[in-house]
Structure 1
């Protein structure tokens, strides 16, 4: 579903226009919260149009035209990336949807019921007991249904995109945070998606996830052609560069477990390597 800027701004004052809202939202952002941005020597606060374009995966010209209120088509995926890049609240994200698409955002895709049921009080306590290590519980299609405080602090995108794979492939900022993105993260992630799709061909959420990733990321389509298969990342060491750690690169061991009562549910702990 798409709309034009002229259509959604028709009859509104400048203070309510999409361009004015975007300028206000990017102007208040602290660049220290965004990985990969130049922090020193900045003459003005906030993010530039070029930086927002980079974070949302569009050209500088496309985003500049957007703020000028000229005609453009929007996808839901772009609006979600923009809401995350600008760190919008739930209310602000709703306002962005209304202004850009002429409607409110749809409810998030439902997680697998078995994974949701697995997140009971003892399971949440188990997640919390992994502190200070981040830990989360996800369903078969990598929708995160539960997590501890460290997970939220390390990965503040969770309120905007509860699906790990969609964030890793469809949000340009992920490339800044997942060190050696193509080889260490994208390749193994796609190999896991392939295995899950082969093992659960009846799962429409998995098939939709595959379509979303391959449609939305050209490099993922190239990596997919390697036909690699991985069941899980248990014990793998990967590197991250996160704002939480002052953008210093750290290594983590990925510990992957599955509850016996819900074997398709993933319990993941990231243990900081020595």
Structure 2
């Protein structure tokens, strides 16, 4: 890898429960780092209403390209016949496909939908999705950075455990995924999974639904042997600073 790859990772925008000053500033804040790829890991809306999707689509369209976008649990109608009849229709109309592949020089990234309509909050990964993961990453060159994005933290336990977690873990290891990006918790974190990849959780970038942690997003710089994670926190509405930098080996 001749030059570092820069990734911007945002999550849990929650348009409809947002802070207007944060929404107005976030695109320029992200663009200042000139990311090669911008990843947004779900919960673009608060209640999956058309007005919220229009706002989310407008914001996402201002973020730097290339972009990898996946849905979250708030992007399905909560109490509506649409949740059964056409749960993903609004998401697909305003945002796009719920499984996406981005291939750049030195990087292969896959986004998958971890939110089934029949669960209210926690997620699942299907057998077909793990087959796709193995296929997409298997076609990448050996030195390519391999990134998986989904809304739910992939290896959480307890009530937050993904349906299909074990098969996802096997697929992630077999596909030699370097980096898993997720959201959902509204609390940024970085840890090395025992299944191999570095797992980076982004906080909520633009909503007032914080968890005793300021709004945040994450900038990552990936080199041939390391992944450097910069957590960017909002010090006041529309103003951001780096709160923590974590450096890990790209592979254990």
Q: Shorter chain as normaliser: what TM range?
A: under 0.3
Structure-1-length-normalised TM-score: 0.26
Structure-2-length-normalised TM-score: 0.27
More strand by share: 2
The structure whose RCO (Cα within 8 Å, separation 6+) is larger is 2
